[in-house]
Amino acid sequence: MEQLTRFLQSSPTPWHAVVHMERMLSDRGFSVLSEESVWSLRPGGRYIIRRQPGALIAFIIPPETPSSQPDDLPRIHLACAHTDSPGLNLKPIPCKRKAGNLVLDVEVYGSPLLSTWFDRDLGLAGHVTLIGPDGGLRQHLIDFGEPVAILPSLAIHLNREANEGYKIRKHEDLSPMLLHPFFSRDQDPSTAFRNGILQYLGTRHPGEAIQGWEPISWDLSLYDVVGPQYMGGTKGWVTGGRLDNLLSCFAAVTALADATTETNPEAPILPMLACFNHEESGSLSHVGAQSNFLSSVLKRLLHLPGRFERTLSRSLMISVDAAHGVHPNFADKHDGNNAPILNAGVVFKRNANQRYAHSVVAEGMLKGLCRARAIPWQEFAMRADMPCGSTIGPMLSAKLGLHAVDLGIASWAMHSIRETAGLNDLNHLQSLLTGFFSSP
C-alpha cells in the first residue's frame, strides 16, 4: 500500500506519472533508451522509452538460449493503459479577476463528474517552459503539493434548488479562487501568475538563478491534494483521484518488474508495457494511442524484413482500464447478469460493437491464466439499451493487427475527483499481468 500511495500521490499529471513509472522500473534494472539515439539491445535487457507528456513503453528482451537462431520470433505480450484522467486544465491566459478575486481560467479536459470538483483543496501541477534573458529555454516539472485554489459551491441560501439538480455552466461556474500566497491579488492577473510560478520555482530550486527568466509556455492542471485513503486493510478498498487509470498503470509496471523471463526456447515471450496520454479525449496526439509511438518502437525492435508483421501475428495484447462496478443505489443502470462487484475479481469487458477489444483467442488464454493462478474473474457488459464507453484497446489492436482483450478492475464513481476501487482486485490484476509477462 505504501508503494501505491507514493505512486498515486506523486502522479498528479501524466507528466509526473511517467517520471514515477520510470523511477520504479529503473530501480528494478531497466535502463532508459532515447528515441533520438541508436539502440543496441542485448538479450535479457530491460528497457524504457518515454515520450513526454505522459507516454512510456517498457519491455524485456528474451534471454538468449543455446539454440537461439537469428530469425527466432518472440511472442509479444503487450499490456497497455492510459496515464491521463479527466479534470480541469489551465487556459493559455490562466488568470483573471472576477468580482475582486484572483481566479483561474480553466478548460474541462475529458468528461469529469464536475460536481465532485467543488469544495476541494486543489493543487496545481504540470510542466512549464521558461525563457531566459538570452533566449535560452529551461523545462521544469511543477507540483505545488499543497492547496493552491478552491472552487466553492454556492451557498444553499442563494440557490434553494441546489439539491434538486443544478446544471453546471462550464464557462461561468468553474473558475477556482486562486488563494496561494505566491499569487498576489495586488498585481494584474498575468503578472501575478508569472510571479507565482517563479516564486514556486525559486523555492524548489534555490541554487538556480531565476532572475530574468519567465514562463513562456505551460501545461498545468488542477488536482485534489488529499491523497489516497484506505478502508478494510490490504484486501479492502482504496479511494482517491485518478484511479482510472493509474491503478492499471501501477499493476502493469509492478507486474513487468516482477516478470520472470526464464529461457523457454519453444516460445520466447517479449513482455511489453505501453502507457499513453490523452485517452480521455480520443487518443489523437503524438503521445496518444493513435500516435506512431508504439509502432515505431516495435519496428525498431523487429527490424528484419517481415519480422514486424510475423511477430505481431503471433502476439497478444491486454488493454487494461477501469471497469464499472455495480452501484447498489443505482443497480438498474447495470445489466444484472454482467455486473461486476468490487473485490470479487478481475473484470473482462465485452461489447458487441467493438467499443472494447475482444478476441476469443486472447480471452481464452487469459482466462486459462486466471484459472492457473487462482484468480477470480467477472464479466462486464452494458444494458442492451444503454451506450457503452470505450478504451484504447480497439484502436491499438486494429492498428497493429493484434489479438486483444479489454479487462480491468471494478470501481465506483468513475471520473469523479475521488473514485473507489478494491485492493484485492488490484492484487489479482498484478498477479494476472505478472503471469502474462512471464514465460510459460
The answer to whether 183 touches 191, Cβ cutoff 8 Å, is no
In the complex, minimum distance from the CB of residue 414 to Zn ion, in angstroms, rounded to a whole number: 7
| 86: nearest Cα among 243, 237, 230 | 243
Q: Which is nearer to Zn ion, 103 or 322 (CB)?
A: 322
Q: Which is nearer to Zn ion, 261 or 391 (CB)?
A: 391
Cell 497497455 sits on residue: 80
CA-to-CA distance for 67 and 172, rounded, in angstroms?
68
In the complex, minimum distance from the CB of residue 37 to Zn ion, in angstroms, rounded to a whole number: 32
Q: Which is nearer to Zn ion, 312 or 414 (CB)?
A: 414
In the complex, minimum distance from the CB of residue 130 to Zn ion, in angstroms, rounded to a whole number: 33
In this structure, what DSSP letter does residue 422 have? E
| 88: nearest Cα among 57, 126, 60 | 126
Cβ neighbours of residue 77 under 8 Å, at least 6 residues apart? Answer: 269, 270, 271, 272, 315, 316, 436, 437
In the complex, minimum distance from the CB of residue 65 to Zn ion, in angstroms, rounded to a whole number: 38
Report which residue type is found at 220: L
Q: Which is nearer to Zn ion, 244 or 419 (CB)?
A: 244
In this structure, what DSSP letter does residue 10 have? T
The answer to whether 326 touches 340, Cβ cutoff 8 Å, is yes
Q: Which is nearer to Zn ion, 62 or 87 (CB)?
A: 87
In the complex, minimum distance from the CB of residue 259 to Zn ion, in angstroms, rounded to a whole number: 23
Q: Which is nearer to Zn ion, 245 or 311 (CB)?
A: 245
CA 41 to chain centre: 27
What pairing do the DSSP bridges indicate for beta strands 419-422 and 410-412? antiparallel
C-alpha cell of 83?
496515464
Distances (CA, A) of 271 to 188, 376, 394: 53, 23, 20
Contact residues toward Zn ion (CB under 5 A) are: 244-245, 321-322
In the complex, minimum distance from the CB of residue 334 to Zn ion, in angstroms, rounded to a whole number: 18
In the complex, minimum distance from the CB of residue 321 to Zn ion, in angstroms, rounded to a whole number: 4
Q: Which is nearer to Zn ion, 175 or 420 (CB)?
A: 420
CA-to-CA distance for 249 and 288, rounded, in angstroms?
15
Q: Which is nearer to Zn ion, 224 or 280 (CB)?
A: 280
The DSSP line for 158-202 is G-TTGGG-----TTTS---EE--TTS-TTS-HHHHHHHHHHHHHH
In the complex, minimum distance from the CB of residue 157 to Zn ion, in angstroms, rounded to a whole number: 38
